[in-house]
Each structure stands twice: as C-alpha cells, then as structure tokens.
Amino acid sequence: MIVTMQPAATLKEITGVIRVLESFGASPSISRDCGCTLITAATSKVPIDAQQVRSAGGVRDVHEDAHPFKRVSRDYHPEDSVIDARAARFGGGGFTVIAGPCAVENEEQIHTIAAHVAAHGAKGLRGGAFKPRTSPYAFQGMGVPGLRLLRDAARANKLAAVSEVMSIDQVADCVEHLDVLQVGARNMQNFDLLKEVGKTDKPVLLKRGPSSKIEELLLAAEYIVDAGNPRVVLCERGIRTYETATRNTLDITAVPVVKQLSHLPIIIDPSHAAGKREYVYALTLAALAVGADGVMVEVHPTPAKALSDGRQSLHFEEFERLMEDVRRQSEFRASVSV
C-alpha cells in the first residue's frame, strides 16, 4: 500500500498514519521523492484496512496493491533499477551480453572462450560449475574447481563471472568466486535458496521456470528482495508449450509485461529458449528490439565436442557476427525514441 499525504500534512498526522499501518504488522517507510510525503507499507502480516488508513488525518490518497508482489513492483519504485556487476550493467537503457559455455570443462576451454567473448564486447562470462541435468548420467559440472577456473578467466578478461548456484550449501563458494549468482529455471521456486541468495550482497540472475507465470517469476524475485538483496536481474529463457520445433518457446512478450509491472531489469536467454544455434541470432535481435536489457548466450570453440548443450552453442565466428549486428542495432535503438 502507498499512502500519499497532503502537502501540508503535519508530523503528527504522518506519525498517526504510520501507527495505523504498524497496527497491521507493516514496517512502513517514508519518502519525499515526489514533493509530498509518501508512506509505503511493502509488507504486512495481515491485510491493511484501506478505509482505516484513508480516514486518518492528513491523507490525500491511498493506493492499494494491484499485485501480490510489492518490493519488485513499479508502484513502489517507479524508476528502472540499474544493477552493476563489474563491467556488466543491467538496466538503464544499455544492452549487456553475457556469453560463455554451458559448462566450464577445463582451464584452456574457459580461458579461450573468455578472451574471445571479451574481445567482441561481452561484459559477463557464463559457465556452469554446478549443472542441473535432466539425466543423472549426464556431465554434472566441475564443482568448486570449475568456479575457480571461471573466476580466473573472467578476471583476466575484465568480465563479470556468472554461474549457477543449485543449492543452499553451494552459496558460500559461489559468493566467494562469482560476481553474479544465477538461480536456474528449475530452482525458480526453491524458496529456501531464494531466501539464502537474498541474504548475500551479490547480484542474482533469476531465470523464469519453464512452467511459471510471469507473476510467479516476480514473486520469486520478491523473496530475494524481501530477504534483503535488491539486486535481481530477471531472465526469460523460454517456457514449455506444445511446440516441439524448439527446446522451449521464447515468451518475448514477457519483456514488455515485466517492464510494465516491475522496475527490475530483464534479459533473454535465446540459447536455452531455442535449443538450436541457428535461431540464436534472430532471437537476440528480437530481444534488443523488444527492449530487453541484454542477453545470455552459449558459445563454444568446438560445439560438437561440448560436454553439454553443444547443439545450441554458437561457434566463435557466429558470436563475432552476432556482436557486430548487436552493436549496430544497439546504436539504432539508442537513437530512436518513441
């Protein structure tokens, strides 16, 4: 709930409204951004009786929550959030590219990829060390040694290190080595994990679950922000539909919907959405056109030999060509205002 006080409201009236909100278990906060006093009650133990707030002295307007999420809502934070992780900036009008292999495989692989993607404009280096695999017999990732290799390759090329944390007991190692903690699609509603990454000070890249609604994605983000960490970047990575031509169906509409509902940045993962490298170019440019804050793409020097997701990984030359066009189109996007 957002309470707008009358411009001439007295301190006593402001305190009176705060008392009413507190009586519902809320911890209200005050801001004066808009020239008058705004009192926001982002969470409360029981529903707040708006009538009771309206009838308190000095109140001009009471805005009741239209959505179940609060802290991530644009109602509570009208300006876009801008989240920095080393060289990577999410939000604020730019288009940031995170690139790298599906999984860290060895030192040479991750250093070669890091140098290539950095040379062509990526700002983040991805690479799974803890891999959520559908089959228990598939490569499960290198674990902590993989995190170290990723960190060193990222540092050597001035990139932000981005990798997935799959469980609470991996959080400490991930915080130590990474610049961005990725919560994967399969874990989007692992509420204990969300609360735990919410206690850290690292940006969190939260991927949308394959069967999750946008509202559920925003509520998952709300868990992280409510636990104390406001630095959440959302990621649309395709949802499961009846379509089988692609691995998932990219819900490009999620971008304008999220931008309307939330102040958090949102990027697209065209690689996991499509599952085939030949569609990554088109979907990346679509992400740029639709107003996304960036993309995360999989790149490998020899995709045919990749230990995971080779079919959707770009060859080096394909990444280079993609980045040339991203740069051209980004300049065009920046020059157009509608």
Footprint of ligand PEP (CB under 6 A): 102, 128, 132, 164, 184-186, 207, 237, 269, 272
**What is the smallest separation between the CB atom of 281 and ligand PEP, expressed in angstroms?**
18
For Mn ion, which is the closer residue by CB, 65 or 309?
Answer: 309
From the list Mn ion, ligand PEP, none, partner contacted by residue 300 (C-beta under 5 to 8 A by kind) = none
What value, to the nearest 5°, has the Cα angle with vertex 19 and ends 13 and 25?
150
Contact of 24 with 45, CB cutoff 8 Å: yes
Contact of 283 with 273, CB cutoff 8 Å: yes
**What is the smallest separation between the CB atom of 17 and ligand PEP, expressed in angstroms?**
43
From the list Mn ion, ligand PEP, none, partner contacted by residue 264 (C-beta under 5 to 8 A by kind) = none
For Mn ion, which is the closer residue by CB, 83 or 296?
Answer: 296
Tell me the CA distances in angstroms from 47 to 15, 29, 59, one per residue in order. 20, 17, 19
From the list ligand PEP, Mn ion, none, partner contacted by residue 293 (C-beta under 5 to 8 A by kind) = none
> 305 φ, ψ to 5°?
-105, 5
Does residue 135 come out as left (phi exceeding 0), alpha (psi in the -120 to 50 range) or beta? beta
Q: By Cβ distance, which residue is nearest to ligand PEP?
A: 184
Q: How many helices (H) and strands (E) does the chain have?
A: 11, 14
What value, to the nearest 5°, has the Cα angle with vertex 94 and ends 216 and 278?
75
For ligand PEP, which is the closer residue by CB, 92 or 275?
Answer: 275
Rounded Cα gap, residues 255 and 156, in angstroms: 33
For Mn ion, which is the closer residue by CB, 151 or 237?
Answer: 237
From the list ligand PEP, Mn ion, none, partner contacted by residue 222 (C-beta under 5 to 8 A by kind) = none
- Helix 107-119 × helix 144-156 angle, to 10°: 30
**What is the smallest separation between the CB atom of 308 and Mn ion, expressed in angstroms?**
6
For ligand PEP, which is the closer residue by CB, 127 or 230?
Answer: 127
**What is the smallest separation between the CB atom of 133 and ligand PEP, expressed in angstroms?**
9
**What is the smallest separation between the CB atom of 70 and ligand PEP, expressed in angstroms?**
26
Question: By the criterion CB under 5 A, which residues form the site for Mn ion?
Answer: 102, 309
Rounded Cα gap, residues 233 and 224, in angstroms: 11
From the list Mn ion, ligand PEP, none, partner contacted by residue 105 (C-beta under 5 to 8 A by kind) = none
For ligand PEP, which is the closer residue by CB, 76 or 90?
Answer: 90
From the list ligand PEP, Mn ion, none, partner contacted by residue 116 (C-beta under 5 to 8 A by kind) = none
Rounded Cα gap, residues 290 and 255, in angstroms: 7
**What DSSP assignment string belongs to 248-280?**
SB--TTHHHHHHHHBSS-EEE-HHHHHSSGGGH
**What is the smallest separation between the CB atom of 210 and ligand PEP, expressed in angstroms?**
7
From the list Mn ion, ligand PEP, none, partner contacted by residue 132 (C-beta under 5 to 8 A by kind) = ligand PEP
**What is the smallest separation between the CB atom of 207 and ligand PEP, expressed in angstroms?**
4
Q: Which residue has the tokens 């539909």?
A: 241
